[in-house]
Structure 1
Amino acid sequence: MPVEFLGIATTNDASETSARSTAAFDPAYLERIVRAHEDNGWTRVLFAYGSSGPEPAALAAYTAARLQSIELLLAHRPNVSYPTYAAKTFATLDQLSGGRLSVHFITGGNDHEQGREGDTLTKDGRYARTHEYIRIVKQAWTSPEAFDHHGQFYDFDDFVLDAKPFEGHVPTVSFGGSSDAAFRVGAAEADIYAVWGEPLDRTREQIDRVHAEAAAAGRATPPRIHAAFRPIVAPTQELAWEKAHRVLDRIEARKAALGGQLSRRHPIDKPENAGSQRLLEIAAAGDRYDTALWTATAKATGGAGNSNALVGTPEQVAEALLAYYDLGVRVISARGYDLLDDAVDFGRYVIPLVREGVAARDRAAAEAATSGAGTEERVA
């Protein structure tokens, strides 16, 4: 089965390890970093969302006009627009990009960050709203006739999209989270369910939970699984670990320079969202797991988003990722600490090895199936 790779699209080069050296809003850097992904084997890039950040749909449209093959994953918070308007925006972007759009719906795990844009619902209320929102958007994309909706959060009559997504394409719906509510909503509605990189046994637990919730929702086919990591790669294992500890030192130095907090969106201590709580729990129990997973970066950042690292040579990191593939992960999100150079290096040196490993597994499975069919015929 194919494996896909998700990178990041940004308008400046700041990261947890360094202040930006570009302008705060640099369209040339945005085009450069997305082109680096397109030219080095990545499948798609994410346009992230934050209350204080640039509007990601506009960035996706700008990118679609300048790059011809990279796919676009647009992060969207349901609290910022009515679902009919969002469905129209997404369909327009899908038309402009020739069918390259996917949408990642973010319910929001931090009350204060949500409140910055007037969202006062409780966490459970936000998940209920997201569930209703996604269903409306999907119906708007596909319904040939006008429809009415009278729900808990939205109420309207006689809506239809004249301009549907590109040539019958329905944008992929992506969703993530580690709370009970997240599993219920995402497993019921998403095409791709996103988790943060955890040890293999903990990742298996999350995959099993997604599959169980999907079955409970009546789905015959569960969502594909997306796992996110911070790769730290070097030519030798020794150099990779030296690089990893330099990364950690730089995170701590930047955190100190910023008064102990790396982001306005995420507290270093006591995060509200279940995913970050899981990352910190895992980090407290140990900093090395499996063959390459390193949790020190997650601990240093308060479990902020995608923050567990995979450390090693390209071969070691590829083998670690293939272990996740064997669990059922089909989308790999990776973002280095030097956003541009790491995207190039990961694309050149790791992605081909992972794809080769997946192809070898597919060949072995096909040969086993052929051999099994031959045995059945001889027995018959």
Structure 2
Amino acid sequence: MVKIFTVDSPFSPGVPNLASLTRQAEKWEASQAIDQVLVGYSALWPHNFATAPTLFALTRRVGLIVAHRPGVMHPTAAARWYGTMDVLSGGGRLACNLVSGSSDKDLHREGDYEIKAVRYERATDYVACMKQCWSAPAKFDYDGKFYKAETVQQFVRPVSGHVPIYMGGDSEDAIDFGAHHADIYMLWGEPLAGTQERIRKVTEVARKYHRVPEFSLSLRLFIGETEDAAWEKARAVETTILQAQGTNRFMRSSKNDQSVGRSRQLSFADEEIHDACFWTGLVKLLGGFANSAALVGTHDQVMRSLRAYRDLGIGAFLITGGAEGLWDPSLEEFLVQAKAAL
């Protein structure tokens, strides 16, 4: 059975308050499709280290993938937060999504001016220290290139001794880091051939570290009773985003973003349709922004496409919908069936 992740805003609409967090938590908890929700990170947003504990307290089943940016605090402090949160949430419901940061502007808001290559090198040091905090049987000193600490000892550790690490990225540095440390390597939506290539490349690098990572794939879904009905939904979203150009309603990649991931997304967006029902319209419209690749079609067409990705080695899907690219409750019934069928 595959896992279903999603992205949603725990503080939408408006600023976070207990009422809005409660509504979101109740929605996720009631879903039979959602296994985990990604709680993102930005220097502009309310801090997820504050919202995540509240969401855990309001739920008993659904897991949270809490994004974290290496560099904003010392890894021993981050390890302590994740270890404590894992225990208090019951164990097994927490994962860490490590993000090196794709926006220099947002990194600068928190005083981080390192270049991307250095950030990945630093992240490797960061995760090594975190893992040692979770597993070391006795006090230890840590002496890495970027981080040092003495007589480290943490009384509260993850229930299983480890918090799963999720990450993604397309650069050579990102692949090496993810192959070394990621439990789940998160891939942006791509046509089947590109996805197969990405899995092969990451797997080959992971062998160097004697590891076998799992993979997730991020997709928006537009499903209709007929193919025309599905395309009506997709085109309506396309129109909504087009009409909002010139505003900040929808996040999009900057033209100055030179990331490998953005370039790769745009490289296959020149052709609008790939495979059976893979659609790149929103990828092009949003400038290669993450989570904008989509599957458009009938129930059977989309299910066949997901099965084809599953056959390549995708063990989890991060599914969103609509113009905002957030959780779409109308996908619930389909995804419950998909979880059982794939």
TM-score interval, smaller chain: over 0.9
Q: Select the structure that is richer in helix.
A: 1
Any idea what the Cα deviations from partners look like across 1:164-222, whole Å, max 9, x if unmatched?
Answer: 113x3521111110000000010011110011000000000100011001012232xx1
Q: Paired residue for 1:101, among 87, 94, 106?
A: 94
Deviating 4+ runs (over 6 angstroms): 338-341
Partner of 1:314: 299
Identity of aligned residues (%): 32
Partner of 2:175: 183
Partner of 2:45: 53
Q: Say whether residues 1:280 and 2:279 are aligned partners.
A: no
Alpha carbons of 1:136 and 1:271: their partners in 2 closer, same or farther (altered >3 Å)? same
- Normalising by structure 1, we get a TM-score of 0.85
Q: Say whether residues 1:38 and 2:56 are aligned partners.
A: no
Alpha carbons of 1:339 and 1:306: their partners in 2 closer, same or farther (altered >3 Å)? closer
Q: Paired residue for 1:29, among 20, 27, 32?
A: 20
Name the aligned partner's letter for residue 300 of structure 2.
Answer: E
C-alpha separation in 1, matches of 2:231 and 2:200: 32
Q: What SS does the corresponding residue of 1:103 show, helix, strand or coil?
A: strand
Alpha carbons of 1:24 and 1:232: their partners in 2 closer, same or farther (altered >3 Å)? farther
Bigger radius of gyration among the two: 1
Partner of 1:251: 241
Partner of 1:325: 310
Q: What SS does the corresponding residue of 2:151 show, helix, strand or coil?
A: strand
Q: Say whether residues 1:159 and 2:152 are aligned partners.
A: yes
Partner of 1:214: 206
Asked if the contact 1:232–1:244 (Cα under 8 Å) also holds between the matched residues in 2, the reply is yes
Partner of 1:17: none
Asked if the contact 1:8–1:46 (Cα under 8 Å) also holds between the matched residues in 2, the reply is yes
Q: CA RMSD in A?
A: 1.9
Alpha carbons of 1:312 and 1:169: their partners in 2 closer, same or farther (altered >3 Å)? farther
C-alpha separation in 2, matches of 1:354 and 1:159: 45
C-alpha separation in 1, matches of 2:306 and 2:115: 36
Q: Say whether residues 1:5 and 2:31 are aligned partners.
A: no
C-alpha separation in 1, matches of 2:298 and 2:24: 23
C-alpha separation in 2, matches of 1:24 and 1:236: 39
C-alpha separation in 1, matches of 2:326 and 2:115: 40
Q: Say whether residues 1:229 and 2:219 are aligned partners.
A: yes
Asked if the contact 1:11–1:24 (Cα under 8 Å) also holds between the matched residues in 2, the reply is no
Give structure 2 stretches of 5+ with no counterpart.
none
Once the two structures are superposed, the pairs formed by residues 128-143 of structure 1 within 5 Å of their partners are: 128-143=121-136
Once the two structures are superposed, the pairs formed by residues 328-347 of structure 1 within 5 Å of their partners are: 328-337=313-322, 343-347=328-332
Partner of 2:338: 354
Name the aligned partner's letter for residue 147 of structure 1.
Answer: F
C-alpha separation in 2, matches of 1:180 and 1:280: 18
Any idea what the Cα deviations from partners look like across 1:83-127, whole Å, max 9, x if unmatched?
Answer: 000001101111111011110100112322211211111111000
Deviation of 1:255 (Å): 2.0
- Normalising by structure 2, we get a TM-score of 0.94
Q: How many residues align?
A: 340
Any idea what the Cα deviations from partners look like across 1:137-185, whole Å, max 9, x if unmatched?
Answer: 111111121111111110111101111113x352111111000000001
Name the aligned partner's letter for residue 4 of structure 1.
Answer: K
Deviation of 1:338 (Å): 6.2
Name the aligned partner's letter for residue 256 of structure 1.
Answer: G
Give structure 1 stretches of 5+ with no counterpart.
14-21, 359-380
Task: Name which of structure 1's ranges 271-280 and 67-76 shifts more when overlaid on structure 2.
Answer: 271-280
Deviation of 1:52 (Å): 0.3
Q: What SS does the corresponding residue of 1:78 show, helix, strand or coil?
A: coil
Once the two structures are superposed, the pairs formed by residues 256-267 of structure 1 within 5 Å of their partners are: 256-258=246-248, 262-263=250-251, 267=253
Any idea what the Cα deviations from partners look like across 1:305-344, whole Å, max 9, x if unmatched?
Answer: 1110111223322221111110000010011126699532
Q: What SS does the corresponding residue of 1:194 show, helix, strand or coil?
A: strand
C-alpha separation in 2, matches of 1:71 and 1:7: 11
